[in-house]
Chain A
Amino acid sequence: MARVLTIEDDAVTAREIVTELKRRGNEVDWVDNGATGLRRASGGEYDAITLDRMLPGLDGLAVVKALRDAGVQTPVLMISALSDVDERVRGLRAGGDDYLTKPFAPDEMVARIEVLLRRRGAERATVLRVADLELDLIARSARRGANILELLPIEFRLLEFLVRNSGQVLTRTMIFESVWGYHFDPGTNVIDVHIGRLRKKVDPPGIAPLIRTVRGSGYRLTESGLAETE
């Protein structure tokens, strides 16, 4: 169970965030202003923070900057009504780990928080494993059991992202942002097609599939033995 701090001045949005995070088994504290939020977050006892960009008094940018200056490395998801790309860059530069624009779908928000929670500590590995799937990040090669997977560079990057966040729901937007590095909605089913091709290589018929579709949300790479909850 993870502890999440929600800094959000709008009560309706806050309730939405808190409800959804609690539903997914997290312990959530809510504060409605930047100053209190900064004080609580400085303790370092939280695993992740959702931070509204625009707060009365001390605003989101100032809070995340103060936290990073104080050496607090808790992952921060910035949430903002400002959708401009420059705004996003500013938020990430100040020390935010991810940026989500309002209005947002609750499942998107939770998916992003869970990715942030997972990210801690997993960064340095050179070989990633999920069940019998193995990714060598140095050699850029992948194996499923005894079979070597012939992957295009883009397919390898996609698989790496799925494996790094195995067990997490990843929305199409998150996949596009992380793997391709662009922040707009590609709109078509282009991500689905890429996943489809990857699936053919990673999950050939006859083997328990690893890549699952989460209806209405996105995808999840998960060990075959785990019970499907969606």
Chain B
Amino acid sequence: MLKLSDHWRSATTRLILIYGAFFVLWGIVLIGVVYWQTGRYLGHVVDEIVEQRARYLEGVERPMLPKAMESTGALDLRGVMSIGLFGADGSYVDGNIERLPDDLPVDGAIHALPNGLERRGRAIREPARGLAQRLDSGEVLVIARDTSVIDQVASIIREALLWGITLTVIPGLIGGLLLSRRPLKRVRAIEAAIEPIARGDLGRRLPVSRRGDEVDMLAAIVNRMLGEIERLLVEVKGVCDSVAHDLRTPLTRLRTQLYRLQQTGGGEEGIEATLEHCIADVDSLLERFRALLRISELEDLGRRSGFANVDLGEILGEVHELYAPLAEDGAIAFRLDAPAGLAVHGDRHLLFEAFTNLVANAIKFTPARGIVGVRVSAEPGGPRVEITDSGPGIPRDEREAVLQRFYRSESGRELPTQGYGLGLSIVAAIVRLHGFRLGIDDNAHGGTRITVDCWADAMTSAR
């Protein structure tokens, strides 16, 4: 459920309220200016009319004055004009004004009469503006005009203002609340989706609508991150599983041997042989741990400080020299086609380690009378190292998995030669560190073809 406080916290609501307040303020200012200007103009018009009549009546001959006053009054259809003639002593002579107003100085100038005038036959006194002029005869002529018209205009403007603000602000507020509901709802939906993820269900993702707005962009970013986290966790779990699996075998064998030793002894000769087996088992365990540590060392350490120009032909020559006897013992033809002069920017030791691993694997999985080839070629992007063998090959769907730590290809498992499955992971880590690209496919002999594209790949180096 959405609470009012949630609405208030919503960015949309706040924006609309602030905008509304500005709108109201601006409306008041605008209408105030209109009101003031209009009032001023109307007041001016009233003054002009009053003055005009006064000048006219002033010029009329005294005997004609009552007649002229009457005809002037006749023009005033709405009854807003007041005209009165008073004697020098202030007594009523003629016109529709009952008594000479006390607050109107007799100076011929227009003054405001907020209390109005006492009109003949009219009980209500309306505010007015007027003047009092002494005539040549000594009498006083008073002319005034109601200003209630101006007040009416003002009240019309005030009402318009009120309506305008009401009609703008109320729907605005309602609209704001409604608008802020949707993003808030989506935030709640995201919150609901995150809860199971936080509890460990990493398969879940945040809802993304088809609108592709800001919230969706944010959700998509979080989803990408969740995907990466899931991939890493699955990998870690896979590594844990396979480490546990792989270590159990030699540990169990070790225990069996120690147990047998404890039970039977087995004589001087037997003890010696068993202990030797035990040491070999422990060595193989240590070997695996070393390789694992090496991989994590490579993965979290950008060892680019040791980078220099390295001649691939030279390195591969050394690799060939190191492994030629092993290949020969296995009756495998080990061919090297690596001209000198193809250099890459990298770490000599690590590259040697990587190629050593690849060649060792190739020899290990190639049966007698097979072929292992190492070749460097100049591709448009840079040098490519290719290691081919005539072994059983790696099935297409296993190629990605063999790069993961501790993984040994199923077909590899069946071979009598033992492999710890870590070699390729070390290679992958070294290749990744250099920003190179490792590829696995098959070759004409039906065996594996591993390629290392020795140029910094934009995709890889960005990771």
Interface residues of A (CB under 8 A from B): 83-86, 154, 180, 182-190, 193-194, 196-197, 215-216
Contact = CB atoms under 8 A, between A and B. Distances in A.
Given A83-B297, A154-B322, A190-B326, 14 more contacts: A84-B297, A85-B306, A85-B349, A86-B303, A180-B318, A186-B356, A186-B360, A187-B360, A187-B423, A193-B325, A194-B322, A196-B329, A197-B325, A215-B276
Contacts of B287: 185, 187
A189 B280 CA distance: 13
B71 interface: no
B326 A83 contact: no
A184 B318 contact: no
B45 interface: no
B325 A188 contact: no
Contact of A190 (B322, B352, B353): B322
Interface of B: 276, 279-280, 287, 290-291, 293-294, 297, 301, 303, 305-306, 318, 321-323, 325-326, 329, 349, 352-353, 356-357, 360, 364, 420, 423
12 contacts: A84-B297, A154-B321, A180-B318, A186-B356, A186-B360, A187-B360, A188-B364, A190-B322, A194-B322, A196-B329, A197-B325, A215-B276
Contacts of B356: 186
Contacts of B326: 188-190, 193
Contacts of A154: 321-322
A153 B291 CA distance: 30
Given A83-B293, A188-B364, A182 B353 contact: yes
A85 B352 contact: no
B306 A190 contact: no
A182 B290 CA distance: 16
Nearest to A190: B326
Contacts of B325: 190, 193-194, 196-197
A184 B353 contact: yes
A190 B323 contact: yes
Contacts of B364: 188
A93 to B, nearest CB: 13
Contacts of B303: 85-86
A223 B323 CA distance: 29
A216 B305 contact: no
A216 B360 contact: no
Interface centre among A84, A180, A183, A187 (most CB of B within 10 A): A187
Contacts of A180: 318, 322
A161 to B, nearest CB: 15
B315 to A, nearest CB: 10
Interface centre among A86, A180, A193 (most CB of B within 10 A): A193
A132 B237 CA distance: 59
A84 B279 contact: no
A75 B305 CA distance: 29
B349 A193 contact: no
Contacts of A197: 325
A85 B326 CA distance: 27
Contacts of A190: 322-323, 325-326, 360
A163 to B, nearest CB: 20
Contacts of B279: 216
Nearest to B417: A188
B323 A84 contact: no
Given A182-B352, A193-B329, A194-B325, A84 B301 contact: yes
A168 to B, nearest CB: 20
Contacts of B321: 154
Contact of B322 (A184, A185, A186): A186
B322 A86 contact: no
A165 B17 CA distance: 89
A190 B297 CA distance: 24
A104 to B, nearest CB: 10
A190 B334 CA distance: 15
Nearest to B347: A85
A172 to B, nearest CB: 10
Contacts of A182: 349, 352-353
B305 A86 contact: yes
A184 B329 CA distance: 23
A119 to B, nearest CB: 24
A1 B353 CA distance: 39
A125 to B, nearest CB: 26
Contacts of A185: 287, 290-291
A86 B306 CA distance: 8
A216 B323 contact: no
A184 B360 contact: no
A193 B325 CA distance: 6
Nearest to B294: A184
A187 B322 CA distance: 13
Given A83-B293, A193-B325, A183 B301 contact: no
6 closest A-B pairs by CB: A193-B325, A193-B326, A184-B353, A216-B279, A197-B325, A188-B360
Nearest to B279: A216
Contacts of A83: 293, 297
A188 B423 CA distance: 11
A85 B291 CA distance: 14
B212 to A, nearest CB: 47
Nearest to B420: A187
B59 to A, nearest CB: 116
Nearest to A180: B322
A62 B459 CA distance: 43
